[in-house]
Amino acid sequence: MKALAQVVGSLSHVPGVVAAMVVGATDGLIVETSPILAGSLGGADTRKHTAALAAYLYSKVTRASDAARLGTPAFMRLEAERGHIFVVGARDVVLVTIVTPDANQGRVRLEMMNAAREKS
């Protein structure tokens, strides 16, 4: 199993990833995080908020997916005006990335799925 620091380290080096985090699935607390990419998002550090709310949202999406009898969600992508939030579950943690709008989303997704598989 990859060390958590290695997981966020390699995810944060994917072009377009502003920040990568490993977050507790049930408590929404950051377990490991990369620094925020310089010059991105501007202003306050919102990683703590993003982590807590993304983990919370993922737990609700899991319930919705379950209610629709679709099984466990494989990947969650939230598209916003100025970028995306990607979330992948990996047992007791979730991997969260904040991504720029022009990022190669396919590559970010692939790297996150691989990281989640290795984490599991």
Question: Does position 49 bind other proteins by CB under 8 A?
Answer: yes
Phi and psi, residue 95, nearest 5°:
-95, 130
| Residue 4 binds other proteins (CB under 8 A) | no
CA nearest to 102, candidates 37, 18, 26, 22 = 18
Q: CB-wise, 41 or 52, nearer to other proteins?
A: 52
Contacts of 79 (CB under 8 A, 6+ apart): none
Q: Cβ–Cβ contacts within 10 Å for residue 104, how many?
A: 14
Query: Which residue stretch of 55-63, 64-72, 93-101, 106-114 sits at the interface with other proteins (rule: CB under 8 A)?
Result: 55-63
**8-27: which residues touch other proteins (CB under 8 A)?**
23-24, 26-27
Which residues contact other proteins by CB under 8 A?
23-24, 26-29, 48-49, 51-53, 55-56, 59
